[in-house]
């Protein structure tokens, strides 16, 4: 056993371990898997331990063992550790941001930006840990001290996707720890390096042994046994709807507390009175940043028919001019998809839309000049019917459809007519219409005159309908999920 995340070397590539009970170690099976740069698959980032049932068991045992002491520790102690972790991460923002770009494929600006967001989240929860933990109530008996206190749940499983490989783990792990829980963290198979970097920062900041455990590896070998372990009291999951729904069924059947944040099919409504240039910029940013691989990405532009042609033309021109390429180069505006499978799937969806008769407004054809990377050129479709597959399913790639409508009422009806409800935007100069939109739109995060993808860490985040499990993450909402309430009646003893 070694006390560094790098436990071995395969030629020039490092081999990263699991972090269990305060130690970096190889998987019990001794196996590891390769992680490659999606922009240049010949670039081997490293190998990562392939955890399995035995490792999950060890990690959960460590988290269970550490729980009593950690849950009884002072919130001020926890706050200090989180704050120190934020400082450690802050000192490495550029380096880790670059690694994020190399591993996930978003642009450098986004990679560094997301890492800075993780710093901000750790800082925020260092503050939240020091907020009041309960409420004082009047009692029918004037002598009774009647109050509530929020207490931690126990060992929690944190299961995260690859598309925000450091921010999402941070916004789950930080509140879990701040409020006194212990954690077993299973990151996405495709982005283990960011998970290692976050774990290193928290470990170096002084987390006691067993409080945070990282088990890299596959859904079947790590995810399943973790979800089904009776000692895991709560599970916070972000990922696809299919996996989330399945996971909830098995976890709630054994009585676990479960939080799900899942996909979206987010609309940007553009009314005829909107500042069109502002709308174009925000619709493109919402749709194409992170190569369209955000849960909050704009994937439907629902546009008043009076401006639909002009808006579509401007969108097509600007989207067609996006610089697609290696995201490690500063000038790149859009990187690759996360994997060969994802690129194939998204290219297939574009072909299917064309076969179904939708009009592709951007330049046609697969990328030919981008080497072996998993690139797909951004695609804009015009005149899209609201019930088409392109307008209904989360494609999770750089694909946008323009749906023409007649005014705000129809726009809201179309916007709401999907199974998702994560985020939504409206572009208008009319405050009355903005208020109507805010009231009627079925989405958990609502923007007026800004893109669908903005979310700040101090406010609740989550979706309506199929996008969520009706719980919320981030901000003060995280305390709801990661704690339970104890009600205390404290009466004086009878006087002698
Ligand atoms: P995914 O395939 O559902 O995977 C998410 C996580 O769950 C990964 O760590 C995955 O492990 C794990 N997992 C898969 N099957 C499991 C099982 N049976 N038991 C336990 N764990 C299991 O999703 P993804 O492709 O990584 O992420 C993309 C999706 O996430 C999109 O739908 C996107 O909209 C959604 N998302 C939502 C939000 C939000 O806040 N609402 C934010 C970001 C992303 P492996 O990696 O090993 O498969």
Q: Is 164's C-beta closer than 6 angstroms to any atom of ligand 1?
A: yes
Catalytic annotation present for 261: yes
Query: What's residue 455's pLDDT?
Result: 87
- Measured from the CB, is residue 338 less than 6 Å from ligand 1? no
Q: Is 337 in the pocket of ligand 1 (CB under 6 A)?
A: no
Q: How far is the CA of 100 from the centre of ligand 1 (A)?
A: 17
Q: 474 falls in which pLDDT band (50, 70, 90)?
A: very high
What pLDDT does 1 receive?
A: 45
Query: Residues 125, 126, 132, CA angle at the centre, nearest 5°?
Result: 80
Of the pLDDT bands very low, low, confident and very high (cuts 50, 70, 90), residue 12 is: confident
Residue 34 has pLDDT above 80, yes or no: yes
Residue pLDDT, tens place only, 66-101: 999 999 999 999 999 999 999 999 999 999 999 999
Ligand 1 pocket, residue 223 CB under 6 Å: yes
Whether residue 11 has pLDDT greater than 90: no
- Nearest atom (ligand 1) to Cα of 218: 47
Q: Give the pLDDT score at 496.
A: 58
Region 282-300: what's the mean pLDDT?
98
Distance 201 CA to ligand 1 centre (A): 24
Q: What is the mean pLDDT of the chain?
A: 96
**Backbone dihedral region for residue 74 (phi beyond 0: left; psi -120 to 50: alpha; all else: beta):** beta
* Average pLDDT score over residue span 378-390: 97
Per-residue confidence (pLDDT) for residue 285, from 0 to 100: 98
Catalytic residue (choose from 99, 104, 295, 473) = 295
Q: Ligand 1: distance of its center to the CA of 69 in Å?
A: 31
Q: What is the pLDDT of residue 369?
A: 64
Return all residues near 355 (Cβ < 8 A) that are at least 6 apart: none
Count the Cβ atoms, other than its own, within 10 Å of residue 243.
16
Cβ–ligand 1 contact at 210 (below 6 Å): no
**Residue 114 in this model has a pLDDT that exceeds 70:** yes
Confidence of residue 363 (pLDDT cuts 50, 70, 90): confident
Q: What is residue 454's predicted lDDT score, i.e. its pLDDT?
A: 83
- Grouping H, G, I as helix, E, B as strand and the rest as coil, residue 71 is helix
Question: pLDDT at position 42, please?
Answer: 96
- Catalytic residue from among 103, 128, 221, 261: 261
* CA atoms of 370 and 357, how far apart (whole Å): 28
Distance from Cα 157 to the centre of ligand 1, integer Å:
14
Q: How far is the CA of 383 from the centre of ligand 1 (A)?
A: 32
Choosing from 60, 219, 346 the residue with most ligand 1 atoms within 8 A of its CB, the one to mutate for a pocket test is 219
Q: Centre a 10 Å sphere on the Cβ of residue 317 and count the other Cβ atoms it contains.
A: 13
Q: Are strands 32-36 and 44-49 parallel, antiparallel or unpaired?
A: antiparallel
Query: Residue whose CA is closest, atom 16 of ligand 1?
Result: 219
- Average confidence (pLDDT) over 160-182: 98
From 192, 243, 349, give the residue whose CB has the most ligand 1 atoms within 8 Å, as the site to mutate: 243
- Domains with residue ranges and CATH for the chain: 6-262+468-486 (3.40.605.10), 266-448 (3.40.309.10)
Residue 412 CA, ligand 1 centroid: distance in Å = 29
d(CA 220, CA 223): 6
Give residue 307's pLDDT band: very low, low, confident or very high (50, 70, 90).
Answer: very high
Mutating to test ligand 1, I would choose from 237, 240, 424 the residue with most ligand atoms within 8 A of its C-beta, which is: 240
Q: Provide mean pLDDT across the span 16-36.
A: 98
Strand segments (E) across 65-173: 136-137, 145-152, 155-159
pLDDT tens-digit series, residues 189-204:
999 999 999 999 999 9
48 lines ligand 1 (CB under 6 A): no
476 confidence band (pLDDT: 50, 70, 90): very high
């Amino acid at each position: 056993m070694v006390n560094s995340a790098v436990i071995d070397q395969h030629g020039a590539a490092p081999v990263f371990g699991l972090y269990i009970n305060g130690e970096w170690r190889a998987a019990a099976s001794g196996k590891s898997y390769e992680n490659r740069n999606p922009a240049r698959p010949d670039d081997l980032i490293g190998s990562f331990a392939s955890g399995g049932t035995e490792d999950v068991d060890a990690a959960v045992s460590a988290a269970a063992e550490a729980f009593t002491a950690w849950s009884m520790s002072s919130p001020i102690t926890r706050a200090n550790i989180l704050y120190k972790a934020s400082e450690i991460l802050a000192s490495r923002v550029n380096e880790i941001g670059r690694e994020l770009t190399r591993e996930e494929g978003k642009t450098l600006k986004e990679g560094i930006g997301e890492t800075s967001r993780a710093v901000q989240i750790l800082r925020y929860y260092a503050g939240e840990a020091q907020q009041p933990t309960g409420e004082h109530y009047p009692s029918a008996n004037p002598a009774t001290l009647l109050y509530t206190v929020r207490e931690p749940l126990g060992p929690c499983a944190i299961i995260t996707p690859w598309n925000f490989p450091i921010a999402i783990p941070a916004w789950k792990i930080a509140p879990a720890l701040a409020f006194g829980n212990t954690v077993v963290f299973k990151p996405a198979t495709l982005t283990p390096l960011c998970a290692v970097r976050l774990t290193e920062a928290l470990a170096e900041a002084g987390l006691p042994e067993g409080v945070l455990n990282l088990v890299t590896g596959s859904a079947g070998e790590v995810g399943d046994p973790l979800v089904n372990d009776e000692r895991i009291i709560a599970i916070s999951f972000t990922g696809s709807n299919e996996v989330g729904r399945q996971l909830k069924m098995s976890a709630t059947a054994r009585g676990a507390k479960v939080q799900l944040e899942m996909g979206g099919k987010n609309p940007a409504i553009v009314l005829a009175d909107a500042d069109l240039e502002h709308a174009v910029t925000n619709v493109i940013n919402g749709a194409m940043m992170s190569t369209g691989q955000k849960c909050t990405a704009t994937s439907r532009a629902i546009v008043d028919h009076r401006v639909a042609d002009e808006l579509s033309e401007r969108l097509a021109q600007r989207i067609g001019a996006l610089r697609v390429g290696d995201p490690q180069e500063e000038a790149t505006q859009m990187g690759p998809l996360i994997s060969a499978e994802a690129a194939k799937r998204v290219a297939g969806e574009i072909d299917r839309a064309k076969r179904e008769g939708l009009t592709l407004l951007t330049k046609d054809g697969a990328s030919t000049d981008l080497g072996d990377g998993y690139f797909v050129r951004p695609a804009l479709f015009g005149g899209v019917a609201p019930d088409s597959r392109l307008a209904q399913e989360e494609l999770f790639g750089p694909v946008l459809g323009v749906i023409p409508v007649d005014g705000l009422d129809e726009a809201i009806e179309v916007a709401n007519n999907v199974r998702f409800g994560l985020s939504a935007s409206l572009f208008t100069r009319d405050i009355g219409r903005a208020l109507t939109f805010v009231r009627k739109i079925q989405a958990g995060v609502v923007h007026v005159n800004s893109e669908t993808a903005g979310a700040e860490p101090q406010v609740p985040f989550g979706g309506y309908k199929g996008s969520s499990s009706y719980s919320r993450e981030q901000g003060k909402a995280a305390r709801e999920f990661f704690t339970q309430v104890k009600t205390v009646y404290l009466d004086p003893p009878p006087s002698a």
